A and B are shown apart, each in its own frame.
Chain A
Amino acid sequence: MRRWAVVAAFLIVAGGLLLGGARMRPFGAPRYDLMDRYFNARSQAEVATNNVVTAIVFDYRGYDTLGEATVLFTAVVGVALILRRLKR
């Protein structure tokens, strides 16, 4: 019974992935590319960086980086709380 459940789950997941892969759009051609073209055209003039990814991460989407920094800080605080030394 359990083996059949595993096989069925494997078949469903693999079939879904294969179906999704077969119907995928061609590489580098997303359906909505308005923001892509905006960033590619304007980032050198507006942010003065050659690396468009860095321009997006640190300038256009700075809030996301702030959230990522907060996540990292929270993770470090959590590790320091769990692994702190209780007694000598």
Chain B
Amino acid sequence: MTILAILQVVVLILIVAGSVLAVWLKDLLASVIALAGASLLLALQFYLLQAPDVAIAEAGVGAALTTAIFVLAIRKTQRKEEE
């Protein structure tokens, strides 16, 4: 098992952890930031799988634009999730 394969497995586990955190957290702003982190790690995974085009698109759309749209939506509604 090479160092690259170990790095890929670590990044995949971190993606799953970030996604679970995004569902788990009650503070919606923290949840959005966890989702942005998972998206950024997904871009890193695309780069490790030798698809830099998809990595740039994922980093631009997934990590920047959706995060900004979620932040705007939270700013216009409320920050805490209701029970």
Contact = CB atoms under 8 A, between A and B. Distances in A.
A87 to B, nearest CB: 19
Interface residues of B, number: 3
Interface string A46-57: 000000010000
Contacts of B50: 28
Interface in A1-51: 27-28
Top 3 nearest A-B pairs (CB, nearest first) are: A53-B53, A27-B49, A28-B50
A14 to B, nearest CB: 12
Q: For chain A, what secondary structure do more than half of its interface residues adopt (helix, strand, loop), or is it mixed?
A: loop
Interface residues of A, number: 3
Contacts of B49: 27
A88 to B, nearest CB: 19
A50 B22 CA distance: 39
Interface in B40-70: 49-50, 53
Contacts of A28: 50
Nearest to B54: A53
Interface in B11-33: none
